[in-house]
Structure 1
Amino acid sequence: MVKTESSPQTGVLVVTHADYGKALLDAAWFIMGKQPSVASIGVDATSEVEATVAAIRQRLKELDTGGGVLILTDMFGGTPTNLSLSLLSTGTLEVITGVNLPMLLKVLQNRDKRPQELATLAKNAGMQGIVVAGEVLRKKIAAS
């Protein structure tokens, strides 16, 4: 399926521990402006598993306008990821872990892609966004 300008965008759901996902979205929206079909869900110890899964499922329905949904979670093996993975077979959906701001920005800039393709872009952007700044600076100084 080739997406056109009238094709629906991929929805984005950030599912993380506590309010980390909301803070990431706030930062992304500060940079890019608020976007439709994007939301976050915080998972904490006070929430019952069934209620959290139901909340994720409901958000997926709201965010999927026909292009599927990409779920970004904070860490592989954590509760937000495990709960999200339990819904992987319920629609056009992909889950990617290790969410960071460069990854989220790349996702928001490329929502015309299908969730699986978007996840690959997100993975690459997330890894490229991890830099040991001192190493870069030392290499730059050594080269001059």
Structure 2
Amino acid sequence: MFKIILFMHGRLAEEFIRASALVFGEQKEMEAYSLELGCDVDGLRNRIKESILQSESRGQEVLVLTDLMNGTPFNTMMQLQGECGFSHFTGVNFPLLLEVLNRRMSQDMAGAVKGLEDVAKGSIYDCDAFLQQIAL
């Protein structure tokens, strides 16, 4: 089973994990890292790097999910990509996390991440337009 690391602004990562437990139950091999105002970004970077390196030493693959392109979590992970091995997706929403968790139960990481961009894009709906369509 591959590890999932969520690194996001505020407490979003912890809340994503907590909310996902309502759907899939408690999940192993998931970690949350929070970027808070005034936090030690270098300390967070080092903790995440150590976690990834520990997984690498065990032969475990790591998927990192960040919330915002060009935000500090994203930039931090882009810097780390030259220092350790992991896959990285940004712009993560809750449906995408649930899809990853669902796929992780039956697929390796390469299979689990295939087509994730389409999953994220397909999870956003204009509800006003939807209601207009069904009213016709």
What's the TM-score once normalised by structure 2's chain length?
A: 0.86
C-alpha distance in 2 between matches for 1:121 and 1:90: 26
Q: Is the 8 A contact 1:22 1:41 kept in 2?
A: yes
**Secondary structure class of the residue paired with 1:36:** coil
The two structures, once aligned, show a CA RMSD in angstroms of: 1.8
Q: Which residue of 2 aligns with 1:30?
A: 22
**Where does structure 2 lack aligned partners over 5 or more consecutive residues?**
none
Say if 2:8 is the partner of 1:13: no
Matches within 5 A, 1:45-84: 45-62=37-54, 65-84=58-77
Deviation for aligned residue 1:113: 2.5
Identical-pair percentage: 22
Deviations 1:4-60 (A, max 9, x none): xxxxx2210110001011111111111101111111100123222221111211232
C-alpha distance in 2 between matches for 1:113 and 1:92: 16
Task: State the one-letter code of the partner of 2:119.
Answer: A
Matches within 5 A, 1:83-122: 83-111=76-104, 112-114=107-109, 117-122=111-116
**Secondary structure class of the residue paired with 1:53:** helix
Q: Which residue of 2 aligns with 1:39?
A: 31
Q: 1:29 to 1:122 in 2, by over 3 A?
A: farther
**Equivalent pairs, count:** 133
**Where does structure 1 lack aligned partners over 5 or more consecutive residues?**
1-8
